[in-house]
Structure 1
Amino acid sequence: MSLALMWEARAAEGRGEELLAWARAQRLDPAPSRRETFRAPQDRVLVITWWEAPYDAAVPELPEPEPGLVTRAVHRWRFEAVASE
């Protein structure tokens, strides 16, 4: 089964590039089978990691960034694959 973890944060004013660099530098052990990093307006950063694991598996996740780097707590979601096209 494929599990996708989504991690999304909004940077503090003017710190979008710093948050993006921070997210890209975070290493997960073990590494996911796939990882993608995105950015969006309002200095938001999204990281999606894919794992060959059941929905409730204990897999490493990106941590909370240091205080002051983000405007709010990180949003996290888990999804399981139901189809691939």
Structure 2
Amino acid sequence: MRDATAYLLAVFAVGPLLAALREAGASVWPAVLGHGLLNSLRVALEQNLTVPLEERPASGWLLLELVACVLWLGAAVAVRRLAVSRVGR
């Protein structure tokens, strides 16, 4: 259950960032490259720097995922604002 919850939180948090990259780049390629980079980064971090999700203490995994979601959403807002200020929409 924790795997599915963590995955869904990540999907809902990273989606706006990829959409902002798509809009800011006026092409699908920034979002495609961002998606690949985020997947690679997450796999590398999970395999090398953390313990498996099912081995993490029950008290800490949700807080970690929520902090990550806030950071991804913050990045989406920053990319969106940068794109708007650059284009002047």
**TM-score for the superposition, normalised by structure 1:** 0.37
* Structure that is richer in strand per residue: 1
User: Larger Cα Rg: Structure 1 or Structure 2?
Assistant: 2
**TM-score for the superposition, normalised by structure 2:** 0.36
* Structure that is richer in helix per residue: 2
